[in-house]
Structure 1
Amino acid sequence: MKLYLSIIIIVITFLGCKKDTQEVDNNYAYLGGEIINPNTNFIVLSKDEAVIDTVKLDGRNRFLYKINHLNEGIYTFRHGGEYQIILLEPKDSVFLRLNTLDFDESLVFTGDGDKKNNYLINDFLENEKEEKHIVKLCQLNPITYQIHIDSLKDLKVNAFKNFKKKYETTPLFEKIAKSNIDYSYYSSKEVYPFIHYGKDKAALLKSLPNDFYSYRKDINYNDTFFSNYHNYNIFLRNNFSNLSLKEHDLHSDNKVFNRNNLCYNLDRLKLIDSLVTDPNIKENLLYHFTINYLTKSQDENGNNAVLKSYLSKSKNDKSKTMLSNLTKSLNSLKKGSKLPEINIVDYNNNTVEINSIINNSTVISFWSHTYYDHFNDSHKKIKELQIKYPEINFVTINIDDYGLDKSEKLLLNHGFSPKNEYLFKSPKEATESLAIYPMTKTIIIDKNKKIVNSNSNIFSIHFEEELLGLLNR
């Protein structure tokens, strides 16, 4: 609390020292706060994907920043590999406090503008919990499912009404809060066919009530205001995945749906291209689904076909180059090939070539300081797997460029041994060569140093089946 009082005093003093000003410019906002356990010494503030400034933390990991000529709306602040949104309106003075070890859950706001932002972050956290509940509800029949999610929406609507009675709100905040409720509800509808246990998705769609997707007639696929907003983008992804089911069914004879089907993924890219005209929204969707396909595919021909479709529709040269390079790397990591020659460093500061440490069946996984939950969960999982499968060598590589000391300290503080732990000698080049995306990517190598699967995942329900197959080769 002392932090916020001191910052508020600084702000008041600054404003009070302004002399001889005939006309006060009220179109500004202050953003300040404290980062506990920082990963870097700065935060990055942006709006609509354009970086406004890099704000340095002081010696006590605190910062204060004034935004002049404020463009009111949703801003994004990033720290390390995490980010969150903040709503800023004229004359707001919002101060945040968060712990990087529990980024979203620890985030709290104080100051002028705190109520609306605490409401939004709490709504975000509640939606995360609700998503897990939705998975269970999706096994219900369509009518019963709709009753349940209608009830969930009503609870949110009533909570928002009570919030408005208690606190003064603005039209902008109400617009965002209402969209949160609506797009969350719409997403619940769109995911239903995918999570429902039935394998014949086309038949399931035909069994839905006629008004199940009645809201679609009012959807704006080019809403620039919400173009960088989480709930809107999640809805669009779910919506296009669902709409593509119908398109795919027109030329598919297979009743069992496969998300990684090439034709389905090409249909989805084509549909996005036909319905979305806003360049940023279109690019985000095209990029998301293209990289999602590539990082889960083992088919070189399929990779090339999806990349070709993406390149013909995208206008973003930087992303086109990135995905072209990613596809090239993924295709070089196909089953039966060897890993590229990459130097890694152990915690005795010895440099070795990655293939030299593979003397038997090996699992290689990766971690980063900026993804703390994954670091912690993956190392615990590997500990379990090492006990169950002592014949397999489990190698873990940190992909950051922070040096040995910081990585070793984090490992030891959490009770993880540095044995079979490494860092990349050249992180950027190695990360690109091994196409490390997403962070859960795991590479399985056989005793002959040949790749068995370059796109596995230690958290997959099928992972241990892969390990048993590896031992039986």
Structure 2
Amino acid sequence: MRHYLISILSVILLGTACNRSTSSNKTTYIGGQIVNPNVDYVILTQNSNDLDTLPLNEENQFGKHLEDLEAGIYTLKHPPENQILYVEPGDSLLIWLNTLQFDRSLNFSGRGGEKSNFLLDMFLNNQRDNDLILSYYKIKPERFAKITDSIRKERLQKLEKLEKREEFSSDFKNIARTVIDYEYYDLRERYTFLIEKYYHGLTSEVPEDFYDYRKKIDFSNKELQSYYVYTNLIDDYLRSKSIEGCDTIAKPSQDCYDLASYHNIKRRIILIDSLTSLSNMKNEFLDRLATRGITMADTEGRVDSILEVLKEVNYENMEQAQDLAAIHRNYFVGTSVNNNKLLNTSKEVIDYRGILEKPTIAFVWSIHSPSHHVWQHKHVRELRKKYPGIDFLGINIDEGETEEWLSTVAANNYNKKFEYQITSRNIDKEVFRKYIYKIFFIDPSGIIVDGDAKFQSPNFETEILEFLNR
């Protein structure tokens, strides 16, 4: 059925594109249809800069001829989701997707569509590599090297077949081969991190040429700076490099391998600042590291230290970092939340003092991160069954969007008894959204006893038991 709809859409939109075409070969057409749209528009961006907004019509279709669009990677945003595409002058690109399975339903067709489909496949391959790494990271480095060599060879062979059929431009061929190489490099970086942290004895068996690829990484690749496979490689490179120094410590502590520790965050901030000349990409990484460093700091001194490091590298968003720090100072371990105001699902303003009846775990979520809050609540449902002695509170941070919050709670059948929304904090909404990964353990008297817990941590349930036994 999906392919039938794509075919019909292609006929309609290609006809529209042809009827409106001009004699200029610099004209590019981008159009498509979105099933179950979240909003009534899509945004075309490049390197974090919005280029154009394309409205959806009553059939949830969009389309526009764009003049003088340069060849390269662009991002199509349909908030809160986005995905990349590759466009060259003269292309007539058609896009179909269903927001219920955004990435996996996405399909590109029309003239030039295979280029975007190839990059989408590489993106999905990169996600699947997470499972592959977890299957193989315990094996010896020499064998892992052969596995990654085989994967790279297979990807290149597939590209060669596509090239013969599609007659790709030389520019796209170069990008496609680079993407394949970077996925290959990323597999090795992820493996490196895991053996460094969990199977340190294997590091002595790493072949001498295992890291030769690092000399080939271009940390200032303008064409790829918005592409997930490339930025993921850099992120994983920073991560593995940040713990390599643990080798020089006689008895490496757990803190040495803790990605949320001050020293690890500092190493990665300094490293990304020294590696790339691309200001947009550098600041995206600094945003992530600043958020993690501040929200995971356990003392006033740690917060101040992170802010000082950010000043040293001339971080562009210092005001936001300082606002985030101001929020976090209210949530150190040992502080009371009793006087903090919340809105319940009956739109009544109350404080924590009127909610806390037993040990409580509060988790933060936003309607603008749908896949994340659905995952959070699914996990919490299971935890509630296992730990009836604990209340799990969902704290929504989209203050000012109360009706949207209530609609989301109802649509997902979240338990209204345990759902609350923050009231005004006089801080920019975007700053609060940096808090969506926070979890707080709060005792019945309203005191925070732990603010560093993570749902994904293998020790999370051990922490719950310790919390119950305090």
Normalising by structure 1, we get a TM-score of 0.88
Moved more, 417-426 or 26-35: 417-426
- Say how many residue pairs are matched: 462
2:10: which partner in 1?
4
Partner Cα distance (1:264, 1:457) in 2:
18
2:444: which partner in 1?
447
- Following TM superposition, the consecutive aligned residue runs of length 4 or more in structure 1 with deviations greater than 6 angstroms are none
The offset of 1:200, in angstroms, is 7.5
Moved more, 452-461 or 36-45: 452-461
SS in 2 for 1:32: strand
Partner Cα distance (2:426, 2:213) in 1:
45
Q: Does 1:385 align with 2:383?
A: yes
1:294: which partner in 2?
294
2:269: which partner in 1?
269
Contact 1:198 1:204 in 2 (8 A): no
Contact 2:442 2:448 in 1 (8 A): yes
2:395: which partner in 1?
397
Contact 1:442 1:454 in 2 (8 A): yes
CA RMSD in angstroms comes to 2.7
Amino acid in the other structure paired with 2:311: L
Contact 1:32 1:65 in 2 (8 A): yes
The offset of 1:408, in angstroms, is 4.2
Contact 2:156 2:180 in 1 (8 A): yes
Partner Cα distance (1:364, 1:245) in 2:
31
Partner Cα distance (1:452, 1:265) in 2:
23
Q: Does 1:13 align with 2:19?
A: yes
Q: Does 1:213 align with 2:211?
A: yes
Q: How does 1:30-429 map to 2 (within 5 A)?
A: 30-196=29-195, 199=198, 201=200, 205-247=203-245, 249-250=247-248, 254=252, 257-259=256-258, 260-316=260-316, 319-339=317-337, 341-400=339-398, 403=401, 406-426=404-424, 429=427
Amino acid in the other structure paired with 1:468: L
The offset of 1:67, in angstroms, is 1.8
**Do the aligned partners of residues 171 and 428 (structure 1) sit closer, same or farther apart at CA in structure 2, a change above 3 Å counting?**
farther
Partner Cα distance (2:315, 2:36) in 1:
39
Amino acid in the other structure paired with 1:320: M
Q: Deviations over 1:392-418 (max 9, x none)?
A: 222213334685555444444444332
**Do the aligned partners of residues 218 and 377 (structure 1) sit closer, same or farther apart at CA in structure 2, a change above 3 Å counting?**
closer
1:21: which partner in 2?
none
Amino acid in the other structure paired with 2:164: K
Partner Cα distance (1:34, 1:380) in 2:
30
Partner Cα distance (2:135, 2:189) in 1:
15
Q: Deviations over 1:311-359 (max 9, x none)?
A: 210351xx11111221232233100112385543333232323443223
SS in 1 for 2:28: strand
The offset of 1:247, in angstroms, is 4.6
Partner Cα distance (2:430, 2:67) in 1:
39
The offset of 1:134, in angstroms, is 1.4
**Do the aligned partners of residues 315 and 268 (structure 1) sit closer, same or farther apart at CA in structure 2, a change above 3 Å counting?**
closer
The offset of 1:128, in angstroms, is 0.8
The offset of 1:88, in angstroms, is 0.8
Partner Cα distance (1:66, 1:428) in 2:
42
Contact 1:29 1:66 in 2 (8 A): yes
Partner Cα distance (1:190, 1:450) in 2:
40
Amino acid in the other structure paired with 1:40: V
Moved more, 107-116 or 165-174: 165-174
**Do the aligned partners of residues 374 and 219 (structure 1) sit closer, same or farther apart at CA in structure 2, a change above 3 Å counting?**
closer
Amino acid in the other structure paired with 1:158: Q
Partner Cα distance (1:398, 1:264) in 2:
30
Q: Deviations over 1:20-79 (max 9, x none)?
A: xxxx32212111122222222222211121111222222232211222111221111112
**Do the aligned partners of residues 393 and 242 (structure 1) sit closer, same or farther apart at CA in structure 2, a change above 3 Å counting?**
closer
Contact 2:35 2:97 in 1 (8 A): yes
The offset of 1:421, in angstroms, is 1.7
Contact 1:363 1:392 in 2 (8 A): yes
Normalising by structure 2, we get a TM-score of 0.89
Moved more, 348-357 or 137-146: 348-357
Percent identity among equivalent residues?
A: 27
Partner Cα distance (1:166, 1:428) in 2:
57
**Do the aligned partners of residues 244 and 417 (structure 1) sit closer, same or farther apart at CA in structure 2, a change above 3 Å counting?**
closer
- Structure 1: which 5+ runs fail to align? 19-23
Partner Cα distance (1:94, 1:277) in 2:
32
Amino acid in the other structure paired with 1:281: M
